[in-house]
Chains A and B, each alone.
Chain A
Amino acid sequence: MSELIRRFGTLLTTVAILLTAFWLLFLVIFPYLGLFEQSFRPYLPVDEIGGPNDFYSVNNYLSMFHNPTEINLLGLTFSVPIHLWVFFITILYSSITALAALLLCYPLAYYMAKVIPPKSLPTFLLLLVIPMWVSELLRAFAWFIILAFNGPLTIVLQDLHIITDPVRWVNGLGGYSGVVIGLVYAYILFMLFPVYNSMSSLDTNQLEAAEDLGARWWQTHWRVVVPHCKPGIASGSVTVFMLAAGSILVPTLVGSTRSRWFTEIIQQWMFESQDWNTGAAYAFVLLIVCTIFVTLMMRFFKVGLADIAK
């Protein structure tokens, strides 16, 4: 603090501290605490707020366990609360999305970092970035069009005589195939760039050394390249998982009649039921899941927060 004042003077230091304090207190910490507090209060008419019925309870969270519904999985039928089921499905398919994005990006990141002629790299990067600048909404809308029943994908495949009858592309994976395709496409570049960044800092001599010492190509990757890329992989996985689990546009645009996403349930509480407190509880659950995911990734890849948020 004293160093700051010496460097910037009292006035500038005060301004910097006030700006940062406004940001962190009024836009981050207090709203998050408010969300937490609100999530334990009942949903009441305005004139009863602060009255005898306004006491803390975990009832809003217990709504997750209401309305059991029959789920068919691998030929077995069992009964699960519907919101809890959607919650698990959201986590499962968000993880699958992150994994798929990683598998698709890894070879390309390696190509960009170690193989492509340095002269053509900037142009290649520029072409990659185009979908990123066209918004998330339009990226989802593009797949809404492509996967539509009797849409362009069906027509092209029929013309090529690969399929004869129209296919409902969004109905696979228990009704979530469209969602997964859309999520991977919408967020794949958030995996590519961190992995590419960490891979480009790898010394090419290490690859040659591994080869000279007799490593097979997969051994070189598994023992040299992947460990070096841990921060990038962790960062990309956290970002893609968080964006996928929190996505609203993609599941609504490319979902099927059977697909429901956790954010859609939050929206229902907020806008249809107008029950903001249960909405707050569900939002808090989503926040906790993302925090746990970040922590697990940091532990698993042994990286710090600074490596993840870049």
Chain B
Amino acid sequence: MQGKTSHLVLRIYSIVFLLYLLVPLAVMGGAAFNDSRFPSPLPWKGFTLRWFVDLFNDETMLQSALNTVIVGIFVVILAVPIGTAGAILVNSLKGRSRTLLYATMIAPVLTPGAVIGISTLLFWYKFNVPAGLHLSVLGQVSFIAAYVMLMVLARLQSFDPALEEAALDLGASHAQMLRRVLLPHLFPAVLAGAVLAFFQSVENFNTTQFTRGSSTTLTVYVGSKVRSGITPTINALAMIMITLTILGAIAYEIKRRRDAARMAALDAE
């Protein structure tokens, strides 16, 4: 609004900000190819792929990656129905009861992961349930279900209850109405919630650390490896993660541009 100069300053700032976000990732990824036993791209000692070979020979790493996927799948299986049910309940309430229910659901999102982990561990220990990945699943579900709930709730607010009435009036059973009317409307949010739930579970450290017992997940294993002897195999893992993220981002961008072009073509007709 103050003309070109301030816009130029903001534009430069936005580029600097992007560099601030992305350069550290490039530094970490670049170190994966450096033939040096320290995880750093500088000083450059020559190109190597041996850290990738080491990565795939690390049995514990592979085992913990498998554990991570299993935990993630169970978290999705539990958190998605729970979060969806919670959103439907909250949405149908009004006044104080709604506020109270909503606040209880949101509480785990605003609680540090360590606190969730410790309370889950202590609670199930009272019933002689030992620590292990099953507790990590429960601990993670307690706050990941809230993310799903928030996404589904946002989608529910754009739902026209008249559609539901119409289905019931026309003789649909409640189950049919749910399957043919409400769930199809909620589907994009439920799917997005499932994807978010899986990735939240994969990257979780704090809650998992206190509940896992002697099992490990990828994040916990890498976290402990970074603290003890650090080798550039972690950079190789980071490089793989970054590459996957960028490929996903490119695929998304291509799809978005194609959709935008299609919309523009439709508008032109």
Binding site for B on A (CB under 8 A): 3-4, 7-9, 11-12, 15-17, 19-20, 22-24, 26-32, 34-35, 38, 104, 107-108, 110-112, 114-116, 122-124, 126-131, 133-139, 141-146, 148, 151-152, 155-156, 185, 188-189, 207-208, 211, 217, 220, 238, 242-243, 245-249, 252-253, 263, 266-267, 270, 276, 279-280, 283-284, 286-287, 290-291, 294, 305-306, 308-310
Contacts and interface: CB of A to CB of B under 8 A. Distances in A.
Pick the most buried of A111, A122, A253: most chain B CB atoms within 10 A of its CB.
A111
Contacts of B20: 185
Interface in B17-59: 17-18, 20-22, 24-25, 27-28, 31, 38-43
A168 B206 CA distance: 28
A145 B122 contact: no
A242 B42 contact: no
Contact of B22 (A16, A131, A152, A249): A131
B119 interface: yes
A253 B104 CA distance: 33
A283 B178 contact: no
Contacts of A114: 1
A142 B205 contact: no
19 contacts: A4-B89, A19-B85, A20-B85, A28-B107, A29-B104, A34-B122, A35-B123, A124-B14, A130-B21, A131-B25, A137-B203, A142-B25, A143-B24, A145-B28, A185-B20, A217-B2, A248-B205, A280-B122, A287-B115
A134 to B, nearest CB: 5
Contact of B28 (A26, A110, A141): A141
A29 B40 CA distance: 45
Nearest to B168: A7
A19 B82 contact: yes
Contacts of A247: 206
Given A19-B86, A130-B249, A280-B118, 15 more contacts: A8-B174, A24-B105, A27-B142, A35-B115, A107-B13, A108-B17, A124-B14, A131-B24, A138-B238, A141-B28, A146-B24, A263-B114, A266-B118, A290-B110, A309-B110
B27 A146 contact: yes
A127 B27 contact: no
A133 B199 contact: yes
Interface of B: 1-2, 6-7, 10-11, 13-14, 17-18, 20-22, 24-25, 27-28, 31, 38-43, 81-82, 85-86, 88-89, 92, 99, 101-116, 118-123, 126, 138-139, 141-142, 145-146, 150, 164, 168, 173-175, 177-178, 199, 202-203, 205-206, 209-210, 219, 222-223, 226-227, 234-235, 238, 241-242, 245-246, 248-249, 252-253, 256
A28 B104 contact: yes
A20 B226 contact: no
A294 B2 CA distance: 36
A299 to B, nearest CB: 15
A115 B6 CA distance: 10
Contacts of B112: 242-243, 245-246, 263, 286-287, 290
A135 B21 contact: no
B86 A23 contact: yes
Contacts of A133: 199, 245, 248-249
B114 A248 contact: yes
Pick the most buried of B116, B227, B252: most chain A CB atoms within 10 A of its CB.
B116
A309 B10 contact: no
Contacts of B115: 35, 246, 283-284, 286-287
Nearest to A155: B42
B34 to A, nearest CB: 10
A310 B150 contact: yes
Pick the most buried of A116, A133, A279: most chain B CB atoms within 10 A of its CB.
A133
A177 to B, nearest CB: 16
Contacts of B14: 108, 111-112, 116, 124
Contacts of A32: 107, 119
A139 B245 contact: no
A310 B113 CA distance: 18
